[in-house]
């Protein structure tokens, strides 16, 4: 149960944190309000459509593409992931990396979330499992960390931090830390080793290969890909 709770933590924390409705600069909701609304919307969507989404990563991907992706600061996340290598990359490499990194996150979390929902066998997820803490920041801060605890059915609360910054379109999440482990830092370490050993182009090719394998391993993705090709032909 604890392992499942941690799986849900990583999925919900990463996805829910990045889901919110945009607002004008004059009435931009605060970062905690953004996350609370996001959490409620995510749980509502998952519970209302769990039968359709369970073990169906292609359907989960549609939901994420329609609701989530427009609000992810993928450019900033990509820049932080590449770190010093971003400065030496040319425009074409940056665009290719952003595309492949986006697809990797999308397909990984779509597959993981679809499988998790399938394992729950129709059980509803409890929105109350995420408890947000009071924000430690001033009104002038443009970059903040929102802290929360995810309460599993068994075991100790799991700390989850959301790293957010204020943009022209409102507050956006660019990183999530689960139990002190940053998603961005984890990828930066892994990708950095690949870049040093084989170069950025090799990393991009590797990500492209992983994305292709995700599609090949998930029947729903494979079917969706075939449908796209048939339409082109």
Q: What is the pLDDT of residue 106?
A: 84
Domain ranges of the chain: 2-210
> In which element (H, E) is residue 92 found?
helix 91-119
C-beta neighbour count of 39 within 10 angstroms: 23
Q: Is 0.85 surpassed by the pTM of this model?
A: no
Residues of the chain with pLDDT under 50: 1-2, 19-26, 225-233
Over the chain, what is the mean pLDDT? 80
> Angle between the 200-217 and 183-198 helix axes, to the nearest 10 degrees?
120
Q: What is the pLDDT of residues 144-188, one digit of tens each?
A: 999 999 888 788 999 999 999 999 888 898 998 999 999 999 999
Q: What is the pLDDT of residue 58?
A: 80
Q: What is the pLDDT of residue 13?
A: 59
CATH architecture classification, 2-210: Roll (3.10)
């Amino acid at each position: 149960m604890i392992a499942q709770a941690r799986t849900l933590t990583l999925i919900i924390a990463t996805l829910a944190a990045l889901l919110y409705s945009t607002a004008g600069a004059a009435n931009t909701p605060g970062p905690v309000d953004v996350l609370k609304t996001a959490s409620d919307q995510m749980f509502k969507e998952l519970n209302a459509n769990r039968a359709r989404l369970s073990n169906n990563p292609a359907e989960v991907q549609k939901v994420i593409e329609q609701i989530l992706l427009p609000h992810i600061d993928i450019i900033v996340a990509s820049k932080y992931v590449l770190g010093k290598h971003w400065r030496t990359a040319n425009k074409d490499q940056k665009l290719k990396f952003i595309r492949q990194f986006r697809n990797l996150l999308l397909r990984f979390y779509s597959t993981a979330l679809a499988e998790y929902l399938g394992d729950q066998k129709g059980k509803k997820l409890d929105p109350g499992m995420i408890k947000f803490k009071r924000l430690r920041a001033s009104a002038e801060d443009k970059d903040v960390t929102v802290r929360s605890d995810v309460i599993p059915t068994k075991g100790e609360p799991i700390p989850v931090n959301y790293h957010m910054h204020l943009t022209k379109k409102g507050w956006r999440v660019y990183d999530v830390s689960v139990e002190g482990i940053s998603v961005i830092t984890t990828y930066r370490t892994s990708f950095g080793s690949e870049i040093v050993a084989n170069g950025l182009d090799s990393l991009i090719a590797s990500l492209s290969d992983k994305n292709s394998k995700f599609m090949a391993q998930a029947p729903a993705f494979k079917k969706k890909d075939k449908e796209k090709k048939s339409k082109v032909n």
